[in-house]
Amino acid sequence: MQVEILTWEDLQRFRKELIEEIKGIVKPSDLRTGGDWLRSAEVRKLLKISPGTLQNLRINGSLPYQKIGSIMYYAHSDIVKLLDKIGRG
């Protein structure tokens, strides 16, 4: 049985290769067609709100989100529901 020793550089190279492979499979435009998911900046621009306001909407549960890595995604349908709720309130 042969033993290979991995260095920190080997792990970093593997990480970069893996990220590039994932980027090749999942493109940002694919996220839109798969259910119309928006990133935080897009939601803030759409609703014309500050980052703090968006954070408050997350914290109080008014706007559901999914966190993948360090990026938060919001379903377009949830944004529409929030706007309907505000409009009726």
Residue 1 has pLDDT above 90, yes or no: no
pTM of the predicted model over 0.75: no
What percentage of the chain exceeds 70 in pLDDT?
Answer: 87
Return d(Cα 45, Cα 22) in angstroms, integer: 27
**If DSSP codes are grouped into helix, strand and coil, which group holds residue 63?**
coil
Average pLDDT of the residues of the chain: 84
Residue 81 buriedness (CB in 10 A; 0-12 / 13-18 / 19+): middle
pLDDT at 39: 95
